[in-house]
Structure 1
Amino acid sequence: MIKKRFDQVNRLIKDRLAFEKIKKNTPENTPKAVLVSIKHHTVYHRFFYLLLKFYKLSGYNVYYPMDFATFRNIRNKEKYLSLIIREDNFLIVNKKYKPESYIEITDEMFSPDYFSSYFEKGNNTTGVYHVPMSFHPLMYHHGIWNYKVDLNKKRINSIFCYGNFDSQAYLDIKRTEFSVVPRTELLSYFESKPEFLAFAGKPDMLKKIEEGSLERKYAFAIKEHFELPMEDVRETLSHFNFYLCCPGVVMPLCHNVIEAMSVGTIPLIQKEYSDVMYPNLTDRVNSIIFDDLEHLNVILQDIFEMPELEIAELRRNVLQYFQDNLTPESVIEHLNNSIKNKEMVYLQAEHRSVKFLR
């Protein structure tokens, strides 16, 4: 009991010191400003961090006036949400710095009911804006999201995939309204193919890339074998023509597809997954889309026979889609236009967004 009380007092003191420190943050010399008047930040967790981070990366001063209680609530909650407090020189919380001119974002502008357009409105997105999926939050936090990558290197004509394939966690999506093939089943499907290859570790992967032995393979970097370092993700993706998009835990969307598209690696993606990306991906324009495993089997028979000119065109379109829709600057531009036009903005809330489907 005494230790628990001591820990509580110790945390309170640390929080107070951190609050006093953040109150000293001052605006940068820019006329661009966003005022955050959102109280239900915990609904969106990591996606709220990403929203504010995109404003910051787009050259905005982010004003978020708050009291100590709100500060503590954010600082000690979900780890990605707390980054808005823990990153240096991110927020301006002191009320005395509130600017005269700003864009204001409020609770009423946003909804976590992200998939209502797909399930209830025939995927009609007129008059709404879906804030798109993005890289893993830590890529932005650590400043590695825009590492320079050579996009003109000769690519390996293979399908690459990486990530976690935990057999328990990634079956949760089967208990939702989505009908995508879970990533564990996709792994089992590809494992049965003679072209399947799972890297034993990073040295093994690099060796095979360098020696050119990966042509026409289904190459997997499975987290259970080794974890691909985050700073190496985009560089690794840039070696391959195609990327197999596996759905997330409870919804099709996952950050991996955005990381792949950022380097022009062409998504091989199930239709329902592509349909909840906004704007929707288009088959043979900026993606290769399959309906189900039977259709995927047909696609795999000739995917490696695609002419290089067609692959190059697809790659250009993928990169253009990324530039137009997925960079921090393009997201904020679209978001601000939607706010100006008083459109509803759908912001991901992961599990909470999926719960609306029930």
Structure 2
Amino acid sequence: MHGLSQLSTFGHQLDGTLQRYKALVYPQRYWDYRRWLQQQVGTEQLHQLAHNQPVVVFDFRDSRIDGPQGRRFYSLFIYFVRAGFYPVLRNNYLVLGNIQEKHKRYCLQENFSVLTHERDLPAGYVLVTDKWYSNLAERAGKIIHINYQPDYSTNDSCFPMPFPLFPPLYAAKEDLRLAYYREQDRQWKIFFGGDAEPGKYNKKSIREIYAKLSRTQILERLSQRLPNDFFWRLNNPEQLKQAEQSSYPGLIAMNTRHCKVASEEWLGTMARAHFFLACPGVRYPMSHNLIEAMAVGTIPITQYPELFFPALEHGKNCLVFSSPDELQIAVQQAMSMDNAQRAEMKQAAQTYYDQYLAPQASIKRLLEHRPKHISLRLLPFLKAGGGFA
């Protein structure tokens, strides 16, 4: 089995390398990129374009920085934008050739420049790079070195990148409406919303490498053990509409394969509940929806508080379980919690988001981490062999 695991890892790494460099064998894509590049704003008038904003320059080797469907690239980009920086992208076909695709295309909604001449850059900019050497480092005020390694420890000297919201939420500027959602009336006690396809969400990596209950195991356990009046599975849009007009004292489990919710409505749906049941992702535990829950003040019920930095705390900003029996206890605790304690935990959850997960606060903490050279651990939630991101 160990040999098969190593073979699978090697196969994925080989596939990842081929994906990063496949653009070199598609001439038409290159010419499309050249046409796109001609339409972009250069850096000749950067001092006017930036409007006295601090400048961040992204200089990457290839599309490894993208992550799944461009999520990592865009999240890093939008974090700096939300923190008030003006972004400059270094011209590199291997990095920008796919900027009009998938989640990466959301960058095109923001103002940025493509680096035309190095002399155009104002001294003291922030440089973000995954290169061993970048000739842009000499005039940079701070240099953020991207570290892709798994198995982060709090004893490491690097800074752990917070897990982001789902990219379309930033693109729709939903993260700028959190104050509204936090004041929304709460109709449901507990909510789960996400893909719930049993085969996809029951991977060995979750159960064996991370030693967590899978999404499938969690939902099956609760569907079997909770009384019928306290477990409502939403399987179509009509049931979702009915739930939106109802108060519910138990767990509402919504499978987004069958109940599609637009990005502009997702946080509002999340904010209908007092608690959010945080089920693991496909190959590793972290999932966007737990971050989204805390952003709107919906208290997470989770089994991976240690994958946050600092760790979440049971009874303060979350409820924690680590076994099927503890899962049931946590759910019962959420359903019976009094208003005063629930309000206190709600405030603590959204305060944690504001201090450690929100883009502006995260970039401030990142830049204060070291005087000049800062190592940014891009995937601190990932264990070796426990999925790819």
State the TM-score, normalized to the length of structure 2. 0.78
Which residue number in structure 1 is paired with residue 353 of structure 2? Answer: 322
Which residue number in structure 1 is paired with residue 57 of structure 2? Answer: 35
Distance (Å, rounded) in 1 between the aligned partners of 2:306 and 2:352: 15
Distance (Å, rounded) in 2 between the aligned partners of 1:164 and 1:224: 6
Which residue number in structure 2 is paired with residue 105 of structure 1? Answer: 128
- The residue type paired with residue 255 of structure 2 is I
Distance (Å, rounded) in 2 between the aligned partners of 1:345 and 1:284: 30
1:292 to 315, 323, 326: 323
Which residue number in structure 1 is paired with residue 199 of structure 2? Answer: 168
How far off is 1:20 after superposition? 0.9
1:75 to 2:94 alignment: no
How far off is 1:285 after superposition? 0.5
Which residue number in structure 2 is paired with residue 198 of structure 1? Answer: 233
1:182 to 2:214 alignment: yes
Q: What are the ranges of 5 or more consecutive residues in structure 2 without an aligned counterpart?
A: 1-24, 133-144
1:22 to 26, 40, 61: 40
Taking the TM superposition and a 5 Å limit, the aligned residue runs for 1:202-351 are 202-212=237-247, 214=248, 216-270=249-303, 273-340=304-371, 342-348=373-379
Q: Secondary structure at the match of 2:84?
A: coil
CA deviations over 1:195-239 (Å, ceiling 9, x no partner): 110124344323333233x1x211011123212222111111111
How far off is 1:141 after superposition? 2.3
Distance (Å, rounded) in 2 between the aligned partners of 1:114 and 1:330: 24
Which residue number in structure 1 is paired with residue 158 of structure 2? Answer: 128
1:52 to 2:77 alignment: yes
- Do the aligned residues in 1 keep the contact of 2:42 with 2:116 (CA within 8 Å)? yes
- The residue type paired with residue 208 of structure 1 is A
Distance (Å, rounded) in 2 between the aligned partners of 1:10 and 1:357: 33
Which residue number in structure 2 is paired with residue 120 of structure 1? Answer: none
Return closer, same or farther for 1:301/1:260 CA change in 2, 3 Å cut-off.
closer
Distance (Å, rounded) in 2 between the aligned partners of 1:304 and 1:268: 12
State the TM-score, normalized to the length of structure 1. 0.84
Taking the TM superposition and a 5 Å limit, the aligned residue runs for 1:119-158 are 124-125=154-155, 127-147=157-177, 149-156=180-187, 158=189
Return closer, same or farther for 1:128/1:69 CA change in 2, 3 Å cut-off.
closer
Question: Which consecutive segments of 4 or more residues in structure 1 shift more than 6 A?
Answer: none
Return closer, same or farther for 1:69/1:322 CA change in 2, 3 Å cut-off.
closer
- Do the aligned residues in 1 keep the contact of 2:150 with 2:379 (CA within 8 Å)? yes
Distance (Å, rounded) in 2 between the aligned partners of 1:356 and 1:226: 29
- Do the aligned residues in 2 keep the contact of 1:267 with 1:288 (CA within 8 Å)? yes
Which residue number in structure 1 is paired with residue 139 of structure 2? Answer: none
Q: What are the ranges of 5 or more consecutive residues in structure 1 without an aligned counterpart?
A: 1-6, 118-123
Distance (Å, rounded) in 2 between the aligned partners of 1:142 and 1:157: 25
Distance (Å, rounded) in 2 between the aligned partners of 1:161 and 1:23: 43
- Do the aligned residues in 2 keep the contact of 1:33 with 1:102 (CA within 8 Å)? yes
Aligned-residue RMSD, C-alpha: 2.8
Distance (Å, rounded) in 1 between the aligned partners of 2:167 and 2:91: 23
Distance (Å, rounded) in 2 between the aligned partners of 1:259 and 1:322: 9
Return closer, same or farther for 1:128/1:9 CA change in 2, 3 Å cut-off.
closer
How far off is 1:342 after superposition? 4.1
Distance (Å, rounded) in 1 between the aligned partners of 2:31 and 2:66: 27
